Amino acid sequence: MELAELERDNTDELNDPSAMAHRSLRRDPFWKSIPAYEQVDEETFHSHLFQTRNAITSVEKLKDALGDLADSDFYEDLRQGLHHAPMSIRISPYIVSLINWEDPFSDPLRTQFLPLGSQQLPDHPELHLDSLNEQADSPVPGLTHRYPDRALFLTLDTCPVYCRFCTRSYAVGLDTDEVEKVHMSANRKRWDEVFSYVASRPELEDIVISGGDVYNLRAEQIRYIGEQLLAIDHIRRFRFASKGPAVMPGKLLTDPEWSSALVGVVEKGREMHKEVVLHTHFNHPNEITGKTKDAMDYLMERGVTVRNQAVLQRGVNDNIETMKLLVKRLSYVNVQPYYVFFHDLVQGVEDLRTTLESGLEIEKALRGTTSGFNTPTFIVDTFGGGGKRDAHSFELYNQEAGIGVFASPTVRPGQYFYYFDPIDCLADEVQERWKDDDLRRKIMAEALDMVNQNSR
């Protein structure tokens, strides 16, 4: 009896049309609701030239594009937000058009790219710029060698868009009121030093080619970097990292020179039995449209594997339904969900961070929704440079105090690293303790004591 009921429930769920929501991708001319793009046809709108030339890089330009779609309160709030932001603004018309301008305050895409003063929170007291300490692990400028067999190569410092929450706000993008950056330009001489270093370290097998963003490299630069790395015997695999497919998918179809440079490196790698893939960065199901599917189909036809690294953000994707839809939709367009990162400690974006608990809850609900190989691992990149850890693998998590401790056996053996929950999520009395320097150090010391006691 009970079993039969259970079965019926399951069948009902199978017939539930919302279970198919991930397959309904926008094919309507959604950009035509933006006054500036009203007359623009589909082919023009999605071309990389249109998207690049019409990038929104200031409040004035946003106003010009939107006309009356947003009111003066919104623009004032945005100006306030930009005062305290580590990143200047840059958004593509594609993203601007996917924002719901009837309610920009709660829109998940607006939240990622346009800071609002009314939503900002004070930074966490333990925040330091470059919280991952990437520069400390850099043997040559623009290469971080932290894990024994793989390294992160920052090829340039610009991107097709600037995300509010960028972990590399110490280097990426234009200087702002808040941050003067370490610049890393696309420069062959610097790259060649990186290649010599990589060639001199036989234990390296895997390179992350990042930035900035490789969408901004020219076709011949993609080819040059790819060929230099393929020529190094001990390099077995590498990934090009780009936000591009999420913010300007049309480029893969309208810039054949760029796409074929990428496909060419992938093919050459395959002939040499080396794996070359594309890693991208979708955070919300609304970023995936029919055009995304066309672009991913183009790569699928040419045998290019695409994986996704998302960032868990409060008010964007920190709920079970959104994350399920994101993962199912990515899988549907053949993008493999690889990682979901807990938010790093970055200046001016405390409102986007989540507690460890909320991410763990989402992971628990997500696992089993779809194939295991399309289920992302939830990762904490520990503050201070302890490296990536599975969020479940903490040595200690004191939810009441809002502090987690992780060990780092591969990166810095014997050392412990922290994760801090956002202070505004804690009880009032605990918030007060975090704000006091001595009491804060005490919370941190007590957490470490507890770990040491447990391990004895």
Ligand X SMILES: *Cc1c(COP(=O)(O)O)cnc(C)c1O
- Tell me which residues are annotated as active site: 146-147, 150, 159, 163, 166, 168, 344, 381, 388
Q: Among ligand SF4, ligand X, none, what does residue 159 contact (CB within 5–8 Å per kind)?
A: ligand SF4
DSSP for residue 332: H
CB distance 184 to 171 below 8 Å: yes
CB 451 → ligand SF4: shortest distance, Å? Answer: 32
Place of tokens 């062959």: 188
Site for ligand X contains 152 (CB under 6 A): yes
Task: Output the smallest distance, CB 213 to ligand SF4, in A.
Answer: 5
Nearest to residue 168, comparing CAs of 129, 206, 126? 129
- The nearest distance, CB 172 to ligand SF4, in angstroms, is 5
Binding partner selected for residue 59 from ligand SF4, ligand X, none, CB under the kind-specific 5 to 8 Å limit: none
Long-range contacts (CB closer than 8 Å, 24 or more residues apart) made by 132-136: 132/167, 132/344, 132/381, 132/383, 132/384, 132/385, 133/384, 133/385, 134/168, 134/170, 134/385, 135/170, 135/182, 136/385
DSSP 417-431: EEEE--GGGS-HHHH
Residues 450 and 7: their CA atoms lie apart, in Å, by 46
Q: By CB under 6 A, is residue 388 in contact with ligand X?
A: yes
Binds 163: which of ligand X, ligand SF4, none (CB < 5-8 Å by kind):
ligand SF4
332 or 339, CB closer to ligand X?
339
Question: Strand 275-280's sheet: what is its strand order?
Answer: 143-147, 150-154, 206-210, 237-241, 275-280, 306-311, 335-341, 377-382, 387-390
Least gap, CB of 339 to ligand X (angstroms): 7
Tokens linked to 151: 């390294």
Q: Which listed option, ligand X, ligand SF4, none, makes contact with residue 144 (CB within 5 to 8 Å by class)?
A: ligand X
Closest contact distance (angstroms) between CB of 387 and ligand X is 7
Angle between helices 59-66 and 72-83 (to 10 degrees): 160
> What is the length of the chain?
456
Instruction: Say how far apart CA 289 and CA 27 lie, in whole Å.
Output: 7
Choice from 30, 75, 101, 147 touching ligand X (CB under 6 A): 147
Could you tell me the smallest distance in angstroms from the CB atom of residue 424 to ligand X? 28
Q: Where are the alpha helices (DSSP H) in 272-418?
A: 290-301, 320-332, 356-366
Number of Cβ within 10 Å of residue 155's Cβ equals 25
Looking at 25, 127, 174, 208, which residue binds ligand X (CB under 6 A)? 208
Site for ligand X in 83-142 (CB under 6 A): none
Residue 77 or 157 having the CB closest to ligand SF4: 157
**Dihedral, 30, 36, 39, 42 alpha carbons, nearest 10:** -40
Shortest separation between residue 278's beta carbon and ligand X, angstroms: 13
What backbone phi and psi angles, to 5 degrees, belong to 351? -65, -15
Q: How far is the CB of 381 from ligand X (least distance, A)?
A: 6
Residue 213 contact, options ligand SF4, ligand X, none, Cβ 5-8 Å cut-off depending on partner type: ligand SF4
Number of residues that bind ligand SF4 (CB under 6 A): 10
**Closest C-alpha to 422, from 99, 50, 74, 121:** 121
Per CB under 6 A, the list member of 47, 97, 131, 144 interacting with ligand X is 144
Name the residue nearer to ligand X (CB basis): 124 or 146.
146
Binding flag, residue 163, ligand SF4 (CB under 6 A): yes
- For residue 166, state whether it binds ligand SF4 (rule: CB under 6 A): yes
Report 2-41 residues binding ligand SF4 (CB under 6 A).
none
Nearest CB to ligand SF4, comparing residues 182 and 450: 182
Position among 22, 124, 168, 389 found at the interface with ligand SF4 (CB under 6 A): 168
Distances (CA, A) of 147 to 108, 143, 205, 236: 33, 12, 11, 15
What angle is formed at CA 126 by the lines to CA 123 and CA 339, rounded to 5 degrees? 80
CA 349 to chain centre: 14
Q: Out of 46, 90, 150, 181, point to the residue binding ligand X (CB under 6 A).
A: 150
Within 234-253, the residues that bind ligand SF4 by CB under 6 A are 243
| Of the candidate residues 22, 46, 146, 181, the single one contacting ligand X (CB under 6 A) | 146
Q: Say if residues 84 and 48 touch (Cβ distance below 8 Å).
A: no
Is residue 213 involved in binding ligand SF4 (CB under 6 A)? yes
Nearer to ligand SF4, 88 or 370 (CB): 88
Q: Which residues bind ligand SF4 (CB under 6 A)?
A: 159, 162-163, 166, 168, 172, 211-213, 243
Q: Which residues bind ligand X (CB under 6 A)?
A: 144, 146-147, 150-152, 208, 388
